[in-house]
């Protein structure tokens, strides 16, 4: 048995030295596994859409790759915070982008849109290694070392590939979100058919050009969506707070020296306590008032820190409906920004990806380090995410550990 083990280890060592010799000599070197990565971001694409609607091209990609059945976005489940984490591999407590908008305590004003990302994005990291990124219609990447196209779609994708031969293409389709807000998550076939057909045209082009085999696809959403007509828990919360003696502002024009709270409503309600306005007694009264609301959770500092949010930036208290509820009912459209919509779509397919598997947990912050891994780059220290080892072959570092090197 000892001889057989020695022979096996010797053979594995020879294999490693033959194929990944540069790694043995240089601890930071990696082997590139993909000619190009195509990151397709479908804003608000709920994972159950794959079963609800006829989407042959997306279904083929997912069936041939690895699907993450329990993929999650960051808190809160709103667009700007989650896209920032996808593009940086970092949680909102590092990126400086807590939500779609925020109350800036330093200037006593609400701010939107938020674009002051505090850590490097994927295009900036790739540029440091002389790799090329093209982005199609991504609102966060202007001036961040990417070649930009104002619109997504097959025509611009093909032009980008033929003109720039990029290592990474970031393709953002916001139409799914627009339609979902307008009509809710159960009236999506028309827009999703167009989205799926566009992706099919891209795949066909790559196949005809002989480039499909070397391409990795990552399809992801930033959050999902639920119908806004669910039972409501607190339809007049801001008015109730005022009646309870708390002065609340929802716009910059409403902020006065006497204002106690600044509120942002985005699925959940994000409450900021203005400097010096509430002592401990009043804080406790506020918290007790909010916690008495049925079918609702109230997240304060410790819970928000546990969710990798920054309470200074996202709000001192966040009021969120529990699954199956909304704070205030609508008339048939869709919403996100509640914990239930942190469930996202994520699957990988193509070059460097395992075939036909289903995995469990993943997070939007795992996408960026996985892209870098596929392109042969190391994960920077600022990234919180991890390489999706359930989707890509075991890393070279793992092989070295197995062999005791």
Name beta bridge partners: 71.
Answer: 362
Q: Classify residue 196: in a domain, yes or no.
A: yes
Q: Give yes or no: residues 246 and 382 share one domain.
A: no
Written as tens digits, the pLDDT of the chain (405 aa) is: 444 444 444 444 444 444 433 332 222 346 899 999 999 999 999 999 999 999 999 999 999 999 999 999 999 999 999 999 999 999 999 999 999 999 999 999 999 999 999 999 999 999 999 999 999 999 999 999 999 999 999 999 999 999 999 999 999 999 999 999 999 999 999 999 999 999 999 999 999 999 999 999 999 999 999 999 999 999 999 999 999 999 999 999 999 999 999 999 999 999 999 999 999 999 999 999 999 999 999 999 999 999 999 999 999 999 999 999 999 998 889 999 999 999 999 999 999 999 999 999 999 999 999 999 999 999 999 999 999 999 997 644 444 333 443
> pTM to 2 decimals?
0.90
Residue 1 lies in a domain: no
CB 210 within 8 A of CB 331: no
- Total domains in the fold of the chain: 2
Residue 187 neighbours by CB distance under 10 Å: 15
Host domain of residue 124: 36-227+338-403
Query: Interior CA angle at 161 toward 379 and 66, to 5°?
Result: 50
Order of all β-strands in the sheet with 133-136? 147-149, 133-136, 168-173, 36-42, 215-220, 346-350, 66-72, 357-363
Task: Clarify whether residues 192 and 286 are in a common domain.
Answer: no
Residue 7: inside a domain: no
Q: How far apart are CA 169 and CA 153, in angstroms?
A: 12
In eight-state DSSP terms, residue 231 is P
Given the structure tokens 């050009």, which residue do they identify?
209
Bridging pattern class, strands 168-173 and 133-136: parallel
Whether residue 158 is found in the same domain as residue 223? yes
């Amino acid at each position: 048995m000892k001889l057989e083990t020695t022979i096996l280890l010797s053979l594995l060592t020879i294999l490693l030295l033959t194929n990944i010799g540069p790694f043995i000599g240089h601890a930071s070197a990696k082997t590139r596994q993909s000619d190009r990565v195509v990151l397709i971001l479908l804003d608000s694409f709920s994972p159950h859409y794959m079963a609800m609607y006829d989407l042959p091209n997306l279904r083929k990609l997912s069936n041939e790759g690895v699907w993450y059945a329990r993929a999650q976005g960051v808190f809160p489940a709103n667009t700007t915070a989650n896209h920032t984490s996808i593009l940086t591999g970092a949680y909102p407590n590092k990126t400086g982008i807590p939500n779609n908008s925020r109350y800036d305590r330093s200037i006593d004003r609400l701010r939107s849109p938020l674009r002051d990302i505090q850590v490097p994005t994927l295009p900036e990291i790739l540029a440091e290694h002389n790799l090329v990124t093209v982005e199609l219609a991504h609102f966060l990447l202007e001036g961040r070392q990417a070649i930009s196209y104002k619109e997504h779609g097959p025509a611009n994708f093909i032009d980008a590939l033929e003109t720039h031969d990029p290592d990474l293409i970031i393709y953002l389709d916001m139409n799914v979100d627009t339609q979902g807000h307008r009509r809710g998550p159960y009236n999506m076939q028309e827009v999703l058919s167009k989205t799926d057909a566009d992706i099919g045209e891209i795949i066909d082009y790559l196949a005809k050009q002989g480039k499909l085999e070397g391409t990795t696809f990552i399809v992801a959403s930033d959050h999902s969506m639920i119908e806004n007509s669910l039972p409501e828990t607190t339809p007049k919360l801001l008015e109730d707070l005022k009646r309870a003696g708390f002065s609340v502002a929802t716009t910059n024009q409403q902020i006065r020296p006497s204002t106690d709270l600044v509120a942002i409503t985005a699925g959940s309600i994000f409450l900021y306590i203005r400097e010096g306005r509430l002592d401990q007694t009043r804080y406790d009264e506020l918290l007790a008032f909010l916690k008495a609301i049925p079918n609702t959770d109230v997240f304060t500092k410790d819970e928000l820190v546990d969710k990798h949010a920054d309470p200074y930036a996202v709000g001192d208290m966040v009021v969120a409906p529990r699954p199956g509820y909304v704070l205030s009912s609508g008339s048939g459209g869709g919403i996100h920004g509640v914990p239930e919509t942190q469930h996202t779509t994520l699957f990988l397919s193509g070059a460097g990806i395992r075939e036909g598997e289903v995995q469990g947990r993943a997070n939007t912050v795992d996408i960026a380090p996985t892209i870098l891994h596929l392109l042969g780059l190391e994960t920077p220290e600022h990234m919180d995410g991890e390489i999706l080892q359930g989707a890509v072959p075991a890393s070279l570092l793992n092989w070295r550990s197995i062999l005791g090197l």
